[in-house]
Structure 1
């Protein structure tokens, strides 16, 4: 899915200056596996991620992104981690400061495929072999697997 219209409208006002945005990560679990996709922009293997639309419930955003990106229906079970992501600067100079909300989600239905072009491949990966996933995304997955059930919050320095 392309950049959301509300972000484009804000960019007209602020240019490339840092734009604070809320993002979601949907860590989708099924039978001891996690749904991952290879991003079309940078080739990274990640869970489903996306931007929360204005007025949208973040858990609904996680479910919406799973349907849009991988054509799977999921249930958002719980919030597992709230943390800021270091500033992202895109190739066009746009800067964004994301607050990521990571959710543990359960697969409900659908066979995954790269539905909207944000990912080039999508599939189920064993939880005990995430060597192709970077450290930040492994931390998001780990937060969703933590059985204590409490959300983690980034602590100030």
Structure 2
């Protein structure tokens, strides 16, 4: 066996991936699934509101879909050993990505006069969307350190 960076060559055609790279990839995929589920749930709820325009909702869904596809493509490149993809994922997920997930709940908590106000008025839809959001946040918190600790890798074009 020969070793290049964090990948070991086990045969002429196969490179063994480091466990942390696989963990990071799986966590990103789980985060994406949770994000898509939350997005679709929010879209379904929004469609019940008479003030929502379908075109505005479609544009929002298209933007999110583009982001999710880009993140998935970066995760796939990271799994293949790309340092630049891993770097973009780590920086993007640990800053803008995580901030976009926690700012809304933190704002609600800070705006509440009493802690009990945060927990009043919950509906089954809100609980389900909150669970998707929690899974999304936990998956990102697993993916980022796993990606950082995946080990060095020589980037191939």
TM-score, normalising length: structure 2: 0.22
Question: Whose RCO is larger (CA < 8 A, sep 6+)?
Answer: 2
Is the helix fraction higher in 1 or 2?
2
Between structures 1 and 2, the one with greater strand share: 1
Give the TM-score normalised by structure 1.
0.22
When Rg is computed on C-alpha atoms for both structures, the one with the higher figure is: 2
